[in-house]
Amino acid sequence: MTTPFFPPPGPATFALVDANNFYVSCERVFAPRLRDRPVVVLSNNDGCCVARSEEAKALGITMGQPFFAVRALLEQHQGVALSSNYTLYADMSRRLMTLIGQYSPEQEIYSIDESFLRFSGCDHWDLTQRGRELRARVLQGLGLPVGVGLGATKTLAKLANRLAKQHPDFRGEGVCNLQELTPAQQAGYFAGLAVEAVWGIGRQWSARLQQQGLATVAHLMRADVPTIQRQFSVVLAKTVMELNGISCLPLEEAPPPRQQIIASRSFGQVVTTFDLLSEAVASHTARAAVKLRKEGLQAGLIQVFIATNPFKPEAPQYHPGATVPLSIPTADTTRLLRAARVGLRHIYREGYEYKKAGVILLDLAPVGAVTGDLFAPPQRATSARQAQLLAVMDDINRRWGRGTVRYLAEGLAQPWQMRRGRMTPRYTTCWDELPQAGG
DNA sequence: TCTGGGGTCCTAGGACCC
DNA sequence: TCTGGGGTCCTAGGACCC
């Protein structure tokens, strides 16, 4: 048994470490031709730009911009657009998080490319220097550039990370430690930061805050907390306190139990018939069920939704959803497929051009933790044979790739599948796709 | 022609119960 | 004639994040 780690009481410093342009940086590690030129990584269906190299940002390409709108510009500057290669990014992320975790026993993995660390009882350490070391280590070990922000709360660490990446005073080192600045120095930087630079403040709230004359971080910091809570919400009130160094958001070292599992996709082409929609819904359901079993969970409820294309407002719009309770909580794909089909029958209408479909699994609980309903008529639980079959299918698909064995309900030709024409190899997880050196 | 996917939390309002 | 109030649960919608 390992000795549990008890953080010493008292004030702590939080660090936020995140990779610069993570998806693009992952691609560049294995393809030197991508260096020093504009590169974007596209969302599913090759739809939007979700990651941009510095050169692409300099061309004015924004986050989430549709690819078709920037395609010509990119070509004009010898730029490259890639489909997203999540297998590669997930594997690089795993390695990145392992390395970062070596710098503190208290780590929260916040997203695919971001991690918080907490340093408590480390007053004698030069954390800025530790940050520099971490950065050099990740660059050497993985080839990924990261930024490090340090502050008294998670929100301040995020803000420091922003300064580390963008402000000329810190950009060179890629590390910003707010803890070693005087209040006057901090105030100077905060007066130069727009309020939407703060973690948790998006477009809507930023517009409302500006109307009230709270345009910069320095303004927001001095706002009256009860007023903010009344006019916005308790979430924003906590943000204001965090900006003042009062820690309200704890480090979440273990991920909180999951509330839902979503599987959805836009179609590569428009779908109108029930049968094709049903194939797509079945395929999403099977994918969600695999995730469910992988995490040892059961679902009590499945939601099905379909939608027309919101970017074609001249066409008739329709985006219904249906909720179908499972008679007993299950992780059995067969049962989920049946329930999803019932839901789809309820909401399908002819005469619409559908662009997207998906399912959401809800009421999740660990297998074995579900209490039976004493008064409900007895239900046949998933048999041992069925459970074995599912386990074998999952195993085959894990080993030989997703979709090697699948349900006929998912269709064979699958004309609705997403476009994905610009994929790079899965360099680190697939023997057939290892990077090659030389000729 | 062409516009992502997967999450969380909070709030308001209605149904229902006692 | 006169028609409460508080609690809980659920859902939809809106905000945010990466």
User: Is the distance between the Cβ of A131 and the closest atom of strand B smaller than 7 Å?
Assistant: no
CA-to-CA distance for A9 and A120, rounded, in angstroms? 8
Nearest nucleotide to the CA of A113, by C1', is C18
Nucleotide B1's nearest residue (CA vs C1') is: A68
Taking alpha carbons only, the member of A361, A194, A340 closest to residue A278 is A340
A260 touches strand B (CB under 7 A): yes
Q: Which of A285, A278, A316 is nearest to A299 (CA)?
A: A285
- Judge whether residue A237 contacts strand B, using its CB and a 7 Å cut-off: no
Q: Separation of CA A230 and C1' C2 in angstroms?
A: 38
pLDDT for position A402: 83
User: For chain C, which bases have at least one atom within 7 A of a protein Cβ?
Assistant: 11-12, 14-18
pLDDT at A370: 54
Give the model's pLDDT for residue A364: 94
Whether CB of A315 is under 7 Å from strand B: the answer is no
> Using the CA of A158, which nucleotide's C1' is the nearest one?
C17
Distance A386 CA to C11 C1' (A): 34
Counting as low any pLDDT under 50, the low residues of chain A are 1-4, 439
**Residues whose beta carbon sits under 7 Å from strand C:** A 110-114, 158, 199-206, 321, 323
pLDDT digit string, tens, across residues A285-333: 999 999 999 999 999 999 999 999 988 888 998 989 999 999 889 999 9
Give distance CA A14 / C1' C3 (Å): 58
Distance A259 CA to B8 C1' (A): 9
Indicate yes or no: strand B within 7 A of the C-beta of A264: yes
Question: How far does the CA of A429 sit from the C1' of B1, in Å?
Answer: 35
End-to-end Cα, chain A, rounded Å = 50
Smallest CA–C1' separation from A205, nucleotide:
C15
Nearest residue: Cα versus C1' of C18: A111
Q: What is the pLDDT of residue A4?
A: 47
Q: Is the CB of A52 under 7 A from strand B?
A: no
Q: How far is the CA of A268 from the C1' of B3 (A)?
A: 12
pLDDT in tens, A201-224: 999 999 999 999 999 999 999 999
**Nucleotide with C1' nearest the A16 CA:** C18
Q: How far is the CA of A19 from the C1' of B18 (A)?
A: 56
By the 8 A CB rule, do A39 and A79 touch? Answer: yes
Spell out a b/e string for A25-56, using b for 16 or more CB atoms within 10 Å of the CB, else e: bbbbbbbeebeeebbbbbbbbbebbbbbbebb
pLDDT of residue A62: 95
A200: which nucleotide lies closest, measuring CA to C1'?
C16
Distance A326 CA to C11 C1' (A): 18
**Predicted pLDDT of residue A420:** 78
In single-letter form, the type of residue at position A390 comes to L
Angstrom distance (rounded) from CA A192 to CA A169: 13
User: Measured between alpha carbons, how far is residue A105 from residues A13, A19, A142, A275, A334 in Å?
Assistant: 13, 20, 21, 52, 43
Question: Residue A259 CB closer than 7 angstroms to strand B?
Answer: yes
Q: In what order do the strands lie in the sheet with A106-111?
A: A106-111, A114-120, A12-19, A146-151, A175-177
The answer to whether strand B lies under 7 Å from the CB of residue A291 is: yes
Give the phi and the psi of residue A42 in degrees, each rounded to 5. Answer: -95, 155
Q: How far apart are CA A316 and CA A172, in angstroms?
A: 52
The C1' atom of C13 and the CA atom of A84 lie apart, in whole Å, by: 31
Q: How far is the CA of A144 from the C1' of B14 (A)?
A: 52
* Nucleotide at minimal C1' distance from the A111 CA: C18
What pLDDT does A5 receive? 53
Specify the pLDDT at position A373. Answer: 52
Distance A10 CA to B4 C1' (A): 43
Q: Does nucleic acid strand B have an atom less than 7 angstroms from the CB of A68?
A: yes
